[in-house]
Amino acid sequence: MSLNSQTVVLPRREENLVAIVKFNSRGEEKDGMKNIVQGITNWVKHTEEGKAAWRYTVGDLNIGDLDSYLDPRHNVLYQYLNKQGIYNLDIHIIGTGDYARDYHYDTILVDELQLDEE
């Protein structure tokens, strides 16, 4: 089975932050995030490093926390993700700032009043 390239956007509810999560996966696209959760769950359940991460986050290990564990020093984590068919996991946390509140996906990017000016 070939790898699917996936990008998922996860907004943070309390703040103006989003996580852009990119990865390759085996299997159906709809199962990508579910497989990441299963890989992280197994890592927490079966490794001291995972248990320490779970304790450190006081049971709130989220995508922002996971980002800090995605480096070669935590290769056991990658092994657990790979067992679930997840490869090349990459997370970018982006702050949108207060200025972005007035803008959204459907914001028209042309000021029509200026089009009528000469």
Total domains present in the chain: 1
Strand order in the sheet with 4-11: 4-11, 17-25, 86-95
Q: What pLDDT is stored for residue 33 in this prediction?
A: 94
Q: What pLDDT is stored for residue 101 in this prediction?
A: 64
Give the residue numbers spanning the domain of 67. Answer: 4-115
pTM for the whole thing?
A: 0.81
Q: What pLDDT is stored for residue 100 in this prediction?
A: 63
Are the beta carbons of 36 and 89 closer than 8 angstroms?
A: yes
pLDDT of residue 105 exceeding 80, the answer is no
